[in-house]
Amino acid sequence: MESPEEMLSPRAATIAPSELPTFSPAVRTALFDYLLRLGDDRLILGHRLSEWCGHGPILEEDLAIGNVSLDLIGHAQAFLALAGRVEGKERDEDRLTFFRGEREFRNIKLSELPRGDFAFTIARQFLFDSYAALLMEKLQSCRFPELAGLAAKTLKEDTYHLRHSAQWVLRLGDGTLESHAKVQAAFNDLWAYSGEAFVADEVELLLAKELGIPDPSSLKAVWVERVSALLKEATLQVPADCFMHTGGRKGLHTEYLGKLLAEMQIVPRSYPDARW
């Protein structure tokens, strides 16, 4: 797996705002918001996974979860860096990470829920990985070359993450009575948060028309099919359709995000002029 620094391609790392394609104000605003969504999903979920450091069920998995966390934070760095260049207000990935308030974050609520037990973490990771790999696969074909390139690079790691979380779903689902019960309960609890990623709003609809960004609602059927197939293989029940929580894309979050940000942002906010 690549380091966070390696995730930012040389082209993406050196491109200046003036080199970006000329976007209309509406497209630029929408694209900035969309890049925040991509970055924030991974930043917040990566932080949640980092909470497992030193607490994994076995040493190998402790290391694996830590590496997935680093991958996601590296992806977030790349997407947020590009977001800052699109915005053109001299906010780099560090400013966007540590100096935005809760209502300015655009991650789905699934990513910010508390760590939970290992079964909960694996179930959430599998739901997210299935979505992320599918999105990056489609995003490679968008008409914004810098974003398409990042998607292609990110997909390589997303594919690994999906393979890893899927294998654990199979082990837990088709394992002991206790592991089966715990992972089934986790999917039952998480299912109500799984649909938010597939709700298309004005941002995605505009970018779908102007830049060929995939309409997230068009991805849901394939996602459901793939997730359902794996759950059935793991002898798990696909949760029934239910109310889906939304609002994260508009900055309306659960109580848990504020606490996470307070921990994540305390050092740079306390010492904003510090140099390491």
* CATH number where 40 lies: 1.20.1260.10
pLDDT tens-digit profile of 228-260? 999 999 999 999 999 999 999 999 999 999 999
Structural domain contains residue 165? yes
Residues 6+ apart with CB under 8 A from 276: none
Structural domain contains residue 14? no
pLDDT tens-digit profile of 84-129? 999 999 999 999 999 999 999 999 999 999 999 999 999 999 999 9
- Counting residues of the chain whose pLDDT is more than 90, the rounded percentage is 87
246 vs 35, 144, 232, 266, CA distance in Å? 18, 27, 27, 27
Residues 139 and 79: their CA atoms lie apart, in Å, by 13
What is the C-alpha R_g of the chain?
18
Domain count, the chain: 1
This prediction has a pTM of 0.91
Structural domain contains residue 112? yes
User: Are 166 and 250 in contact, with CB atoms under 8 Å apart?
Assistant: no
Of 239, 260, 261, which is closest to residue 123 (Cα–Cα)? 239
Q: What residues make up the domain containing 245? A: 24-270
